[in-house]
Amino acid sequence: MSTTEEPGHNVPHRGLITVSIMLATIMQVLDTTIANVALPSMTGDLDASQDTITWVLTSYIVAAAIMTPVTGWLADRVGRRQLFLTTIVGFTATSMACGLAPNLEAMVLFRLLQGVFGAAIVPLSQTFLLDINPRERHGSAMAIWGAGIMVGPIIGPTLGGYLTETLDWRWVFFINLPVGLIAFAGCFAYLPEVAQRLRRFDFFGFAMLSLGVGALQLMLDRGGEADWFASWEIWIELGLAITGLWVFTVHLATAEDTFVDGKIFADRNFVMGLILIFVVGIVLLASLALLPPMLSHVFGYSTITTGLVMAPRGVGTMISMILVGRLVRMTDPRYLVITGLLLTALSLYLMTGFSPQMDSFPVIWTGVIQGLGLGLVFVPLSAVAFATLDNKYRTDAASLFSLVRNLGSSIGISVVTLYLTRNTQINHQELGAFINPFNPVLQQALPGPTNNPAMLQTLDGLINQQSLMISYINDFKLVMLITLFAIPLALMLRRPQRTAAAAAPAAAHMD
């Protein structure tokens, strides 16, 4: 008996398409972290201050956050292929412009445009990989896609530090030119056409979502510098974020022909996938944001050494991606997600045992465990979230998937950074209270008088180190609890039914 062929069968040049798509994806994902380490070098060349140079990061983040949700409408309006090719060209061109920027104003403008063009690359790459592969190969496709998404932020700071130290900070952006040209050539030659679908543009919905997401990203990025809720700026941004997101939610529930089709939220797997990818965003980027400064300030590692110590985390992720691409077709993907969350929680628990006296080995092997765990979560979750969703909603869904993951990352980084700063101050006060000439234990431990200036300076340095270490441990505990909280949510996912195309080989083998 013949079966209806699943979309994605008999796609020519699937391998070349995948390589081209992933080159564009890795190029975009790298730029979310690669520029961070180059900021100190940019400050002098662009005649910027410590406060204003952060707009190089903020402008990109806010522009990408606002433009990500509009990807679905643009893809339907101009065509996925045309939009993807345009974003590659625009992202590569604006990357070169960033590298040539003569001053801060030009750099912020070019980074803003880079975020506008780069926003659509990740959701479109996920959509194309799902389109060109039959449903039974979605797990393998998402393993390849997930490897680029997760390894990119890990190697970004290392690559950025190497380019900045050996060449110049401008090469952080120039490196995108050869990658962008190869990606464009491959996609132009082999990327299949997708039929356009005319949709009315919901200006009101887009405006409200842009207001909410943009204000939230701005608040999260500016919070640390503005001293959070001690600043009127943060209160205004919070009010705008709540207003925009609330009005957009009401608009989505009550209006017809909205900016994002509300029918996608009727799919339980997709909704649970959004919640879980939000948690993955928190865990992945929060831990990545904590480790480099910890290795630098507590352990005194250089940028290059920090990158080398963190590199095995990427190796663990790659191993996990290779394995899970096969496992997801043989076992219940929910079990893989739960196993991954447990491994991630275990790695964070082990990280709470870090101390300033240890060598780099505990950082390396806990990083490998965490890389394995996050890989086990990311791939099956990406496949299961789209398994029961109608194909026509894929681009909208992929845009929301990327947006929620990025919001989780931004919120996670802001929370752990705030928690770290506050705890460091509290720990310093508590530990410093024991440093006084009337403490008999201190008098016995010190070789000289406690009022010696050199001795006091040494003690203050040790207290700073211990205060920081305790604060990092507290952050690891917080992220571990968030990870454990996500495990019951994974049980609410539905196991996707095997398609006819997937079941046919098994049926033939039984005859």
Same structural domain for residues 368 and 440? yes
Say if 447 falls within a structural domain. yes
Query: Of the candidates 194, 221, 241, which is a domain's last residue?
Result: 194
Judge if 68 and 147 occupy the same domain.
Answer: yes
CATH of the domain at 25: 1.20.1250.20
Q: What is the pLDDT of residues 145-192, one digit of tens each?
A: 877 777 777 777 778 777 877 888 889 899 999 999 999 999 998 888
The three-state (H, E, C) secondary structure of 227-272, written as one string: CHHHCHHHHHHHHHHHHHHHHHHHHHHHCCCCCCCHHHHHCHHHHH
- Contacting residues for 14 by C-beta, under 8 A, at least 6 apart: 132, 133
Say whether both 384 and 403 belong to one domain.
Answer: yes
CA-to-CA distance for 472 and 420, rounded, in angstroms?
6
Residues 177 and 227 in one domain: no
Minimal CA–CA distance to 330: which of 266, 380, 257? 380
CA 96 to chain centre: 23
Compute CA distances 122 → 23, 381, 448, 449, 491, whole Å.
11, 16, 61, 61, 27
Buried b (16+ CB within 10 A) or exposed e, 291-319: bbebbeebbebebebbbebbebbbbbbbe
* CB within 8 Å of 294: residues ≥ 6 apart: 354, 468, 469, 472
Low-confidence ranges of the chain (pLDDT < 70): 1-11, 50-51, 195-196, 199, 303, 432-458, 460-461, 496-511
Q: How far is CA 422 from the centre of its chain?
A: 24
Same domain, 149 and 240: no
Number of domains in the chain: 3
172 shares its domain with 211 = no
- Tell me what pLDDT residue 466 has: 83
- Asked if residue 307 and residue 280 are part of one domain, the reply reads yes
Q: Do 304 and 423 share a domain, yes or no? A: yes
Contact 316, 371 (CB under 8 A): yes
Q: Give per-residue pLDDT as tens, 15-32.
A: 888 899 999 998 888 887
Residue 242, domain extent:
202-258
Residues 280 and 403 reside in one and the same domain: yes
Q: Using one digit for the tens of pLDDT, what is the confidence trace for 90-144? A: 999 999 999 998 888 898 899 989 989 988 898 898 888 888 888 777 777 877 8
499 φ/ψ sector (left φ>0, alpha ψ -120 to 50, else beta): beta
Residue 7 lies in a domain: no
507 belongs to a structural domain:
no
Does 505 reside within a domain?
no
Question: Residue 370 falls within a domain, yes or no?
Answer: yes
Q: Does a structural domain hold residue 508?
A: no
Global pTM? Answer: 0.76
Instruction: Using DSSP, state whether 327 is helix, strand or coil.
Output: helix
Residues 224 and 155 in one domain: no
**Gap between the Cα atoms of 197 and 194, Å rounded:** 9
- For residues 360 and 488, membership in a common domain is answered with yes
